[in-house]
Amino acid sequence: MPRLDVRRLAAVDMYGSAGSPVRRRVILVEFVAGVVGCVALGLWAAQEGGPVRTALGGYLALVGLNYAPLAVHAVSLSRRGALERELDGVDIPAELRYYTPRQLWLFVPLLPVVLAARQARRR
């Protein structure tokens, strides 16, 4: 299993390099749209027939579910001061260098969902 803290990934992505309030809202919308859009598009593609389209649609829907824990964390980190508390004392540039390439794990169906569930049990 990769070392990927899903909450920290959401926080670092929301903060970016400058901590802009606009970026926070854009990332929140991205995560919510990722869930709704990918799942809806995947289910539609899976219904449209053919084994290839069904497989690709199923994959897309499962990848869309990966955005659900990110969206949940983004909503909780959107509260006043929550993102700053989450990243207090964190070396943001180092975290950005660490988490940016690890965002590719979002393309592994359900991996972030499983990691988020495990991490939630530990908290």
Residue 17 in domain: yes
Q: Which one, of 71, 64, 79, lies nearest residue 28 by Cα?
A: 71
Residue 123 in domain: no
Is 49 a residue whose pLDDT tops 90? no
Residue 20 in domain: yes
Cα–Cα distance measured from residue 60 to residue 121, given in angstroms and rounded to the nearest whole number: 27
* Across 65-86, average pLDDT: 96
Residue 119 in domain: no
Domain range holding 102? Answer: 6-113
Q: Which one, of 10, 56, 64, 74, lies nearest residue 36 by Cα?
A: 64
Report field, pTM of the whole predicted structure over 0.85: yes
Secondary structure, 3-state, 54-84: HHHHHHHHHHHHHHHHHHHHHHHHCCCCHHH
Residue 122 in domain: no
Residue 13 in domain: yes
Residue 121 in domain: no
- Return the pLDDT at 1: 61
The number of distinct structural domains making up the chain is 1
